[in-house]
Structure 1
């Protein structure tokens, strides 16, 4: 399926870029390029500034290379944002930047293209990899994973409370028929799920858990947040948009720790000055407007958080 820019709506586009860009001649990183919605607006705001984009998805990389040909201020790298430190040095020749943007999760074009295997609504090969040229696909993993591992993945990463029951059904089904397509898996999950949530496909949580596991999304996020914070110069900002509670919990906890330091017993004679706090959070968490949610229902769960470096 050919995907155009019009088919992907960047969530909280102006809010995030307003928070990110503080210097029109600065250096910026888009850790999740996607179709370049955020990057293009950042470039519109820059004068002599430059932008570096990251993505695992080869289709996104193709869009990024096209943009790089249009605008010499932009470069794109096919890699996880968890590895940004080395690439920032290689591309910019320095180790500090003015801002890092992360728009987490799976993108609309990835969901809508059945061939990518993310959708439980449209049939396609059960892949789910952000980079389909690397690593084990969801079908390959489901074919060999033990029942307990499948249950743990759906419970930990999908918050699926019927994970054990669903994992057992998956293993019983695969014993006589390989699970190779998204609708096969979706059907097995739906039939094993005894309590469907109103307004939510019964396969939603199982698919989320498997996708996050296959792509190591939360592991990459934890490493990437550290890398981004350490790559900021004084006044530089980390802007993150998350879409589900697991992501947002990690982002919120990380930013709180950076801005306030570790939780210590009240009786200890330690002041903030002793903690060497180098960051602060900017404002409260931002959520999409009612108008944006009405225009793009996939934005409804989004949360935007901002962290700023205040000292070296």
Structure 2
């Protein structure tokens, strides 16, 4: 909590809870802000299961509450985790797909283009695949896919060619090594920031397999949420939001229908929920956040 302000804290938790004695999951524990608020809203007989693949989040946990069960794991494994503790169904699931300030501001994690550090970007530091591997070992075809699909660049080949040309001479090791490949001095501050944000986003999504993990979690949510229970998803870029929106409204992922009759969830709000002006002023990183809440049919 000293490092990070939870985004849309009240909105995401208030709309999530339908049963104060229920079993809830915070699939992205982070600094514990959302989990703490959920526990405040629940009665004494409730259970909160929290997950985070970043071991730093587990070590920095400040919540001392017997209702909290915290696991160091990726939410793609949510079904197996629930099975371990003999739980089949839950009342609600909260997911904040953003990054905490202590992750972004730590140079050793390599997440941010604003500080220099080794290209890493692993959420789970026990895995071996990192941003170094993506940039220095990926083929031209794979780099093109990463920057077109996950960065949504109009001309990703320009980026790919610069990376391939430079790494023939020497490996690209640090965040600034990568940034310095691109001549952006004539660009405005906002153009530069947008370009680098998309560049780093694309690499990070690849390193952490974020899209596959999100899609798997959405499918699992349709199986583990009780009727009347809810999912509360906070996303930060259009790729994630489109997947969540399409799944909730159509019950589909990549045109594959999850339920042959009807979508498993119904929207609570027709329009996406965004931070209010006051929150955006206090926490500029919340500006891109979008909250979607749905109820199990």
What TM-score, normalized to structure 1? 0.87
**What displacement does 1:198 show?**
3.1
Matches within 5 A, 1:99-248: 99-188=92-181, 190-191=182-183, 198=190, 200-201=192-193, 202-248=195-241
Look up the SS of the partner of 1:288 in the other structure: coil
State the Cα distance separating 1:160 from its structure 2 match. 1.9
CA distance 1:142–1:21, shift in 2 (3 Å): same
CA RMSD of the aligned region, Å? 2.2
Query: Equivalents in 1 of 2:179, 2:133: separation in Å?
Result: 16
Instruction: Confirm or deny: 8 A CA contact 1:8 1:109 kept in the other structure.
Output: yes
CA distance in structure 1 between the aligned counterparts of 2:121 and 2:27, rounded to whole angstroms: 19
The two structures have a TM-score, normalised by structure 2, of 0.91
Offset, 1:50:
0.8
Unaligned runs of 5+ in 1: 265-273
Structure 1 stretches of 4+ with a deviation exceeding 4 A read 192-197
| 1:62 corresponds to | 59
Say which of 238, 250, 267 aligns to 1:281: 267
Counterpart Cα distance in 2 of 1:98 and 1:280: 15
| Partner residue in 2 for 1:14 | 10
Q: Matched residue of 2:190: which SS? A: coil
Deviation at 1:192, TM superposition (A): 7.6
By relative contact order (CA 8 Å, sep 6+), the higher-ranking structure is 2
Deviations 1:242-297 (A, max 9, x none): 100000000000000139xx899xxxxxxxxx935543111131111011111111
Cα deviation digits, residues 38-95 of structure 1 (max 9, x gap):
000001111121111111111012134x53xx1111011121111101211222x221
Matched with 2:279 is 292
**Per the alignment, do residues 263 and 123 of structure 1 end up closer, same or farther by CA in structure 2, a change over 3 Å counting?**
closer
Rate the CA distance shift 1:147–1:197 in 2: closer, same or farther, 3 A.
farther
| The structure with more radius of gyration | 1
Pairwise mapping of residues 86-97 of structure 1 onto structure 2 (< 5 A)?
Answer: 86-91=80-85, 93-97=86-90
For 2:249 and 2:229, the matched residues in 1 are separated by 17
